[in-house]
Amino acid sequence: MSSLLLRFPTSPPGNGTPLVISPLSGTLPQATQGVFYTATFTASGGVPPYQNWLMIGGPAWLTSTSNLDGTFTISGSPPSAQLDSFTIQVQDALGAAGQILFT
């Protein structure tokens, strides 16, 4: 099951549009044991540039990278079949935060 959580500061972002992370929750391809896995996230809405990307939680085999083009990549090779959950978070230029939970 997947769910989506977006959090914003008490004042809306400067341009009034929500900060959205893609791909949306539930749309990541499934990882396969022993096979290299990668997924890239983008942000839209809010006030660019997007910064302070974080992966919160997640398995030890999954690493994360903030890319120069403002995207965020997770990658690694799962050593075993397992269920994992993690959150991806990003902030826009005004500090508005968006989060998305993958379970």
The pLDDT of residue 5 is above 90: no
Q: What is the residue-averaged pLDDT of the chain?
A: 83
76: enclosing H helix or E strand: strand 72-76
Q: Which pLDDT tens digit goes with each residue over 28-76?
A: 888 899 999 999 999 999 999 999 999 999 999 999 999 999 999 999 9
What would the CATH number be for the domain defined by 35-102? 2.60.40
How many angstroms separate the CA atoms of 2 and 30, rounded? 13
DSSP per-residue letters across 7-28: ---SSPPTTSPPPEEESPTT-S
> Any idea where the domains of the chain sit in the sequence?
35-102
**88: phi then psi, degrees, rounded to nearest 5:** -110, 130
Nearest-angstrom CA–CA distance, 90 and 20? 9
